[in-house]
């Protein structure tokens, strides 16, 4: 079989994976990142549905293979744009599900729409398996290699164009696959191929953008949407990259006054500001500055200014500089030098170049050193020593209050991260972290517990002497000191809090009479929580608390996961009284999505399989074969997703990790599929089952090695530039992915030789397992960590060959 016949498979696979990654970007703008992730997981049920459809129409479709492939690929292109355009206009809002049952209907409608492109794209690949049963390894290789190229290619494209424009190229790729497939038609091949090729070119180049690049309609609950509701507010600049959509908003009628944690005692009006929203939500402010530090004196009345009362002319490191607010505070406090770290180069460009005059050129100051890096990577590799490390507040209050961040892997607030920060401090240095204040508290107490764990890991026996915590009406700032606070430091904290009407929740020597004086709460949760965490009953307090506040680690970096099942009934009962704001919506919706996915998988796969059971051989073999492909689908995605989440730390951004690790696994698994038959012949004596057994043995050894080695490898290589780290990431996943690409085609060939009618079912079962595993992997990682997810995957891989072993004796 010529490679040219496989080109349409590679093209459509590239289009489908590019579309999947692109949807993550688009829905991150429309809703929030993890709602997008869950919708896409359900949409992938299109793969399972395609297997069912092919199984029911296999003979008719295979006889018309080229025409059916071309039609399906063209329909992918059409539905890729129309499904998104319609889905984003549905009145669905995930935050309303708990009190508005109608939202479940709109969610189901979103699923139905987004299934369509994946359904038509998967039909193409499933048909190729059925059309070429003797060449399954090559089909799977082109499928995976094309998918890997598509996943990585869309990232590069998003550096050049906006996500809505990139959608046009994905549509064109679908039509291109259709054009190449049409060349295999017996009749009208040149007419069909030429027409589809012209359609691809027309979509990519000539069609008006508004037809194939619908602008995202943002949730009304996002900060940008609310900001633009103000009269005369307008967007004055927009920048897009894989790291986010930056939108700069000017509001002359009702000026922005963004100063989190500002004291009620402040009397100075902040200067004019421009708001910079990331993906329509997380906000940073660019403040008008004429060079006079007195004009920003109000910043000294925020909780984030506390460390400057303790330190004189400090050497400062700001991890996450945003629009430069903390730079202005450091200038006002006469900092000696400032190192500012920012992960998004477009944010730096906005402040340093586009709005330099407005911002007073603060990013060009001689004592300011800008670093384009991820905060954790910089902290792990910098050779400097600092007096103050500031971690400012950059996420939005609405996102925090709604619990939409609970599934977000965040390596900034883990125990290992705190140890890295402390290692960068001079003898009297301080780490200052500001978070939104939520009542009852979650972030602040979890941060306090994490700081304690990091100090104790460094040999500190009395962590309470190294900690200070104050709160305003809406923020809390925690200080973590390298050395125990001195008497004058404690006096400075008390004086600062009293002057600004801030409440002290913890400082060495505090008593009950010192707390809850200004911003009064019904109960002084933070003080009582700090006492409990520092006392002998810490473990019991963490276990009994209504929210999950155990320290986050690099193995379980879900700092914003506060959900506890036992608190759910009480919170639901309070939803009409404001209790809904206490729920972590992401977790609940993920669980609901898992239940829906399981039900839909049963309807799409198990029910039709049972109806057509007479065509698939003995029940015993149907069950074993089905379980084999179910186990492979779960295990492959478990490892893939665990590695994606683990590589977030190394590559510096979730989107990079998704694209690079996904591309690496798919491309090298494709190579493994291509050589699978030779592997079985060389090491298994021609036995597919023996070849599978040896391949999964290699997977188990490599996975265990990675679990032990990756942390130290990352630590040594974090300082490398992004291009080098991308190449290293691909090299790291290559050996494991190579062997992971073998069990599916070998098993499919083994089963297909006995019952070709089972091939589409196997494809569908594997697809539905992928959907379930995408959701399950995240839930499991939150409870047992990435290492636990990988070990479960290894067990599934090791069990899989036994499900085919009953045929071992009949093999040559």
pLDDT above 90: residue 22 = no
CB-based contact 640:665 (threshold 8 Å) = yes
Q: Which of 261-275, 457-471, 651-665, 758-772 is least confident? A: 758-772
Range with the poorest average pLDDT among 86-95, 409-418, 696-705: 86-95
- Token code pair at residue 78: 């059409």
* Beta bridge mates, 469: 478, 506
pLDDT tens string 398-412: 444 333 444 567 888
87-96, 320-329, 580-589 — most confident range:
320-329
Q: Return the pLDDT at 403.
A: 39
Instruction: Look at strands 475-481 and 503-506 and give their pairing.
Output: unpaired
Is residue 123 within 8 Å of 50, Cβ to Cβ? yes
End-to-end CA distance of the chain: 26
Q: How many CA atoms are closer than 13 Å to the CA of 667, on its beta-carbon side?
A: 19
Angle among Cα 152, 153, 155 to the nearest 5 degrees reads: 70
Look at residue 350 in the predicted model and tell me its pLDDT: 94
Look at residues 387, 384, 325, 393 and name the one whose alpha carbon lies nearest to residue 360: 325
User: What is the mean pLDDT of the segment spanning 463-470?
Assistant: 96
In tens, the pLDDT along 599-654 reads 877 776 666 666 665 655 554 456 777 788 888 888 988 998 888 878 888 887 77
Distance between CA atoms of 437 and 415, rounded to whole angstroms?
A: 21
Residue with tokens 């265990």: 704
- Given a cut of 60, whether residue 4 has pLDDT beyond it is no
Q: Report residue 337: phi and psi, to 5°.
A: -140, 155
Whether residue 214 has pLDDT greater than 80: no
Please check whether residue 656 is in contact with residue 725, taking contact to mean a CB–CB distance below 8 angstroms.
Answer: no
- For 186, the 3-state DSSP assignment is coil
Residue 461 CB coordination number (10 Å): 7
- Cα-based distances in Å from 259 to 224, 294, 496: 17, 16, 17
| Residue showing tokens 């520092």 | 534
The mean pLDDT value of the chain amounts to 82
Q: Around Cβ 428, how many Cβ atoms within 10 Å?
A: 15
Helices (H) and strands (E) in the chain, counts: 30, 12
Phi and psi of 367, rounded to 5°?
Answer: -95, 10
pLDDT at 811: 42
Give the model's pLDDT for residue 377. Answer: 78
Any idea which residue has 């170049």 for tokens?
353
Class for the domain spanning 612-812: mainly alpha
- What distance in Å separates the CA atoms of residue 243 and residue 245, rounded to the nearest whole number? 7
Contact in structure between 774 and 652 (CB atoms under 8 Å):
no
> What mean pLDDT is predicted for residues 567-589?
60
CATH class of the domain whose range is 298-574: alpha beta
Query: Residue 88: how many CA atoms within 13 Å on its side-chain side?
Result: 24
The pLDDT tens digits for 236-275 are 999 988 888 899 999 988 888 888 889 989 999 999 999 9
Nearest by Cα to 432 from 380, 484, 471, 468? 468
User: What's the whole-model pTM score?
Assistant: 0.84
Strand partners, 425: 386
Q: Torsion angle, CA of 396/399/402/407, rounded to 10 degrees?
A: -140
- Could you tell me the two tokens for 601? 């998988």
Q: Where are the domains of the chain?
A: 298-574, 612-812
Torsion of the alpha carbons at 547, 553, 555 and 559, rounded to the nearest 10: 40
Q: Of the segments 397-411, 453-467, 505-519, which one has the largest average pLDDT value?
A: 453-467
Tokens of 155: 């990232």
Q: Which residues of 678-705 are buried (b: 16+ CB within 10 A; e: fewer)?
A: ebbeeebeebbbbbbbbbbebbbebbee
pLDDT higher than 80, residue 327: yes
Which pLDDT belongs to residue 262? 92
Q: For residue 520, what are the contacts with CB-CB under 8 A and spacing of at least 6?
A: none
């Amino acid at each position: 079989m010529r490679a040219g016949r496989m080109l349409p498979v590679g093209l459509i696979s590239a289009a489908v994976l590019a579309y999947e990654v692109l949807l993550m970007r688009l829905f991150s703008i429309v809703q929030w990142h993890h709602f997008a992730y869950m919708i896409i997981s359900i949409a992938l049920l299109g793969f399972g549905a395609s297997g069912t459809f092919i199984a029911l129409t296999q003979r008719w479709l295979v006889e018309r293979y080229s025409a059916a492939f071309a039609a399906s690929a063209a329909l992918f292109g059409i539905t890729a744009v129309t499904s998104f355009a319609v889905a984003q206009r549905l009145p669905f809002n995930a935050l309303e599900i708990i009190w508005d049952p109608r939202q479940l209907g709109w969610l189901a409608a979103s699923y139905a729409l987004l299934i369509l492109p994946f359904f038509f794209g998967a039909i193409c690949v499933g048909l190729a398996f059925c059309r070429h049963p003797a060449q399954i390894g090559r089909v799977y290789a082109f499928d995976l290699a094309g998918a890997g190229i598509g996943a990585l290619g869309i990232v590069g494209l998003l550096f050049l164009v906006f996500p809505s424009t990139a959608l046009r190229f994905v549509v064109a790729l679908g039509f291109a696959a259709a054009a190449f497939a049409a060349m295999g038609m017996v009749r009208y091949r040149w007419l069909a191929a030429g027409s589809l090729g012209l359609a691809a070119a027309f979509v990519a180049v000539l069609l008006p953008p508004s037809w194939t690049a619908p602008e995202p309609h943002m949730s009304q609950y996002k900060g940008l949407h609310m900001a633009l509701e103000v009269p005369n507010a307008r967007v004055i600049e927009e920048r897009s990259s894989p790291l986010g959509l930056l939108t700069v908003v000017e509001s002359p009628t009702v000026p922005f006054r963004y100063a989190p944690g500002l004291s009620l005692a402040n009397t100075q009006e902040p200067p004019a500001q421009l708001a910079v929203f990331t993906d329509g939500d997380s906000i940073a402010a660019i403040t008008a500055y004429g060079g006079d530090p007195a004009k920003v004196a109000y910043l000294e009345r925020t909780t984030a200014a506390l460390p400057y009362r303790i330190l004189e002319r400090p050497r400062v490191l700001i991890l996450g500089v945003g629009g430069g607010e903390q730079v202005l505070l450091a200038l006002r406090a006469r900092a000696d030098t400032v190192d500012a770290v920012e992960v998004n180069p477009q944010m730096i460009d906005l402040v340093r170049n586009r709005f330099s005059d407005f911002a007073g050129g603060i990013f060009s100051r001689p004592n300011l050193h800008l670093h384009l890096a991820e905060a954790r990577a910089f902290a792990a590799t910098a050779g400097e020593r600092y007096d103050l490390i500031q971690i400012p507040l950059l996420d939005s209050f609405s996102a925090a209050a709604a619990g939409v961040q609970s599934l977000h892997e965040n390596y900034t607030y883990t125990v290992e991260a705190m140890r890295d920060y402390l290692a960068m401090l001079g003898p009297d240095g301080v780490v200052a972290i500001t978070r939104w204040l939520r009542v009852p508290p979650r972030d602040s107490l979890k941060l306090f517990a994490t700081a304690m764990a990091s100090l104790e890991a460094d040999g500190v026996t009395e962590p309470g002497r190294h900690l200070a915590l104050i709160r305003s009406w809406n923020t809390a700032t925690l200080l973590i000191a390298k050395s125990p606070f001195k008497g004058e430091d404690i006096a400075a904290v008390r004086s600062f809090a009293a002057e600004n009407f801030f409440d002290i929740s913890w400082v060495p020597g505090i008593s009950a009479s010192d707390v809850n004086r200004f911003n009064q709460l019904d109960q002084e949760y933070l003080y009582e929580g700090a006492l409990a965490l520092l006392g002998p009953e810490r473990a019991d307090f963490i276990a009994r608390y209504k929210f999950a506040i155990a320290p986050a680690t690099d193995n379980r970096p879900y700092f914003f996961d506060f959900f506890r099942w036992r608190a759910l009934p009480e919170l639901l009962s309070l939803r009409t009284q404001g209790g809904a704001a206490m729920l972590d919506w992401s977790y609940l919706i993920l669980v609901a999505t898992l239940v829906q996915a399981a039900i839909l998988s049963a309807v799409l796969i198990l029910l039709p399989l049972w109806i057509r059971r007479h065509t698939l051989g003995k029940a015993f073999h149907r069950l074993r074969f089905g379980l084999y492909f179910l186990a492979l689908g779960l295990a492959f995605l478990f490892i893939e997703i665990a590695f994606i989440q683990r590589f977030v730390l190394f590559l510096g951004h979730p989107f990079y990790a998704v694209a690079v690790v996904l591309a690496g696994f798919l491309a090298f698994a494709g190579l493994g599929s291509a050589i699978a038959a030779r592997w079985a012949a060389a090491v298994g004596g021609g036995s597919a089952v023996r070849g599978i057994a040896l391949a999964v043995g290699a997977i188990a050894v490599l996975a265990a090695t990675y679990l032990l080695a990756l942390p130290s490898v990352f630590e040594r290589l974090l300082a490398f530039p992004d291009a080098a780290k991308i190449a290293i990431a691909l090299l790291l996943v290559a050996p494991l992915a190579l062997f992971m690409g073998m069990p599916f085609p070998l098993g499919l060939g083994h089963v297909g030789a006995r019952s070709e009618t089972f091939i589409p079912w196997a494809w569908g079962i594997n697809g539905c397992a992928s959907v379930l595993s995408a959701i399950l992997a995240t839930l499991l990682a939150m409870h047992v960590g990435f290492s636990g997810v990988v070990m479960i995957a290894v067990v599934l891989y090791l069990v899989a060959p036994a499900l085919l072993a009953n045929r071992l004796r009949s093999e040559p």
